[in-house]
Amino acid sequence: MDAIIVLDFGGQTAQLIGRRIRELGVYSEILPGTTPAALLAGLPGLTVRGIVLSGSPASVHDADAPVPDPALFELPTPILGICYGLQQMVSQRGGEIARSTSREYGRSKLRYSSEHPLFAEVPEGFTSWMSHGDHVVAVPEGVRVVAESEHGIPAAIEFSRTQIGIQFHPEVTHCEHGNRILENFVVGMAGCATDWSLEEYADEAAEEIRTTVGPSPVLLLISGGVDSTVVAAILLRALDPAQVYLMYVNTGLMRKDESEEVGASLERLGARHLDLIDAEAEFLAALDGVDDPEKKREIIGDLFIRVQSREIAERIPGDYFLAQGTIYPDIIESGGGVGKYAHVIKSHHNVRSPLVAAKREQGKLIEPLSRLYKDEVRRLGIILGVSRDVIARHPFPGPGLAVRILGAVTPEKCRILREADALYIAELRDRGLYDRIWQAFCVLLPLRSVGVTGDTRHYGYVLALRAVNSTDAMTADVFPFAPDDLLAISARITNRIPEIGRVVYDVSSKPPATIEWE
């Protein structure tokens, strides 16, 4: 498969470069900026046709600046340096980079000094997007300046027939003709075929699974979220469904009707071995009287692992492969050298699971989504027949309602929160708001406040509503409800759930708050 490798020097837009290239129909992968050139030739299943060097918050003058392997520039593979990438190319060739007195930031019209295929069909004077503190002051000998910025700074430099660097960022939407410039590199200079698609990915992933697994059983632990459901769909398509063991632990901390819906969606996908394990009593007993948030998480994580191992031993015959819904953004390349390509998994259960560690060690872990972004996983799910309801479902934390019941968890509080949350979500759906919000949920506070119904005063729970928009959960904005929507949601909840006396809306963004309350 043709691929473009993006070498990531820590720039904010490295992921975006990768995305844009995939949108052109070419597979791209992001590797640490310092990846040795020799490694690029041996990437399994990939023919590297081009290399992009990303931007960076570093300066080439920093003592610990990440440096691309000089052997890259000996390869016949076409290279495009962007911003810091360009500056590294200049400095490695003996040119000079200086700190700018003022940062060049924002739009800048480019003037061409000579022609270059990178700018084919891009008109002179187009508006590029700059964001840099350093710039090129002396170009190396024997290179050609192709374009300059409004301020007379070299904006594109050709180092050889196959190597070019640019000071601006074609990957950001503010850059005019940015996609055309990337396409000129990816297709025009690197010669990639633009036939990469999720259908092709699904076929290749299925083939890879069949070859790896053979006739062995495969176990997948289902969380009910999008990722594990899409992995189930791939496994059931790639293998004999009799080989595929799906296991779902109901901790009692799930949303209303969630366990039943998960079961139904997997049956629709053709699951044959589907175990829905009811461990509610065990989880609630373990959490009894515990009010420290970290302790709650720890108890849930540990019990999860104990329940899983016990149930697996009872249900799966002999040796087996473990499948996991790790996706591309979960995999953080730690950078530095070949020995440091360890995958670091963010999700809590995964990090601590000894089962995952053991299976990885034995080469019996399969992660068919590990090259996909979240929206690609969703699109793949649709292709594989996963229902739109599952695909569009908001994220839900592993420890479930336990981190949304502040303080000690009781069966009664679980019941109240589940009902309130279901009403909130139903109201969002009725009002056409659910799909406009990234994550919405209720939090039950460990407080009671006074209220009146008829002539009687009573103390009811305080319920907080949360609704945020985000792209990657690292930052989040408060969803700006219209006042009428909030009033209607509040009324629906307090009318239907007598134990809740008061509803408040959380108007904190992340940072400084987090999305969850515990």
As a whole number of angstroms, the distance between CA 390 and CA 388 comes to 5
For residue 79, list its beta bridge partners.
Answer: 51, 163
Is residue 348 at the binding interface for ligand XMP, with CB under 6 A as the rule?
yes
Which parts of 461-480 interact with ligand XMP (CB under 6 A)?
A: 473
Residue where the block lists tokens 């065990």:
282
Candidates 241, 395, 407, 451; binder of ligand XMP (CB under 6 A) is 395
Catalytic residue flag (residue 442)? no
Residue 513 CB, shortest distance to ligand XMP, in Å, is 8
Question: Judged by CB under 6 A, does residue 515 bind ligand XMP?
Answer: yes
Q: Which residues, 6+ apart, have CB-to-CB distance to 179 below 8 Å?
A: 20, 23, 24, 170
Nearer to ligand XMP, 495 or 514 (CB): 514
Residue 88 binds to ligand XMP (criterion: CB under 6 A)? no
List the catalytic residue out of 83, 175, 414, 442: 83
Give the SS3 label for residue 8.
strand
Complex with ligand XMP: residue 261 or 516, whichever CB lies closer: 516
Side-chain-side CA neighbours of residue 220 (13 Å):
30
Given the residues 29, 104, 158, 171, the one annotated as active site: 171
Contact status, residue 54 vs residue 335, Cβ threshold 8 Å: no
Residue 116 annotated in active site: no
The span of 60-68, 135-143, 361-369, 393-401 binding ligand XMP (CB under 6 A) equals 393-401
Among residues 363 and 512, whose Cβ is nearest to ligand XMP? Answer: 512
Please tell me whether residue 514 binds ligand XMP under the rule CB under 6 A: yes
Nearer to ligand XMP, 82 or 402 (CB): 402
Out of 11, 178, 397, 460, the residue judged to bind ligand XMP by CB under 6 A: 397
Nearest to residue 515, comparing CAs of 415, 424, 435, 403?
403
Nearer to ligand XMP, 26 or 300 (CB): 300
Positions 284 through 313 that interact with ligand XMP (CB under 6 A): 297
Cβ at position 505, least distance to ligand XMP in Å: 17
510 binds ligand XMP (CB under 6 A): yes
Joined tokens for residue 122: 């891009």
Min separation Cβ 346 and ligand XMP, Å:
9
Pick the closest to residue 146 from 80, 93, 100, 101 (CA basis): 80
516 binds ligand XMP (CB under 6 A): yes
Instruction: Phi first, then psi: give them for residue 247, nearest 5 degrees.
Output: -130, 130
Query: In this structure, are strands 2-8 and 127-138 parallel, antiparallel, or unpaired?
Result: unpaired
Report in angstroms how near the CB of residue 397 gets to ligand XMP at its nearest.
3
Per-residue mark of binding to ligand XMP, 432-451 (x: CB under 6 A): -------x------------
Pairing of strands 218-222, 321-323: parallel
If DSSP codes are grouped into helix, strand and coil, which group holds residue 516?
A: coil
Phi-psi region of 183 (alpha: psi -120 to 50; beta: other; left: phi over 0): alpha
Indicate left, alpha or beta for 177 from its phi (over 0: left) and psi (-120 to 50: alpha): left
Q: Does 228 bind ligand XMP (CB under 6 A)?
A: no
Binding positions for ligand XMP, 398-417, rule CB under 6 A: 398-399
What DSSP string runs through 142-193?
T-EEEEE-TTS-EEEEEEETTEEEESS-TTSTTSTTHHHHHHIIIIIIT---
Among 88, 149, 184, 347, indicate the residue that binds ligand XMP (CB under 6 A).
347
SS3 462: strand
Of the ranges 74-82, 408-416, 458-466, 509-517, which one interacts with ligand XMP (CB under 6 A)? 509-517
CA–CA distance, 429 with 435 (Å, rounded to integer): 8
End-to-end CA distance of the chain: 44
* Alpha carbon of residue 215 to chain centroid: 32
What sections of 214-319 are H helices per DSSP? 226-238, 258-268, 280-287, 293-315
CB of 287 to ligand XMP, least distance (A): 14
Q: How far is the CB of 225 from ligand XMP (least distance, A)?
A: 8
Name the catalytic one among 116, 132, 135, 169: 169
CA distance readout (Å), 2 to 50, 195, 249, 333, 373: 9, 9, 40, 21, 18
Position 325 contacts ligand XMP (CB under 6 A): no
| 154 lies in the binding site for ligand XMP (CB under 6 A) | no
When the beta carbons of 148 and 298 are compared against ligand XMP, the nearer one is: 298
The verdict on whether 169 is a catalytic residue reads yes
- How many positions of this chain bind ligand XMP (CB under 6 A)? 13
Give the binding range for ligand XMP (CB under 6 A) out of 260-268, 395-403, 423-431, 456-464: 395-403
Q: Which residue ranges make up the site for ligand XMP (CB under 6 A)?
A: 297, 347-348, 395, 397-399, 439, 473, 510, 514-516
Catalytic residue positions?
83, 169, 171
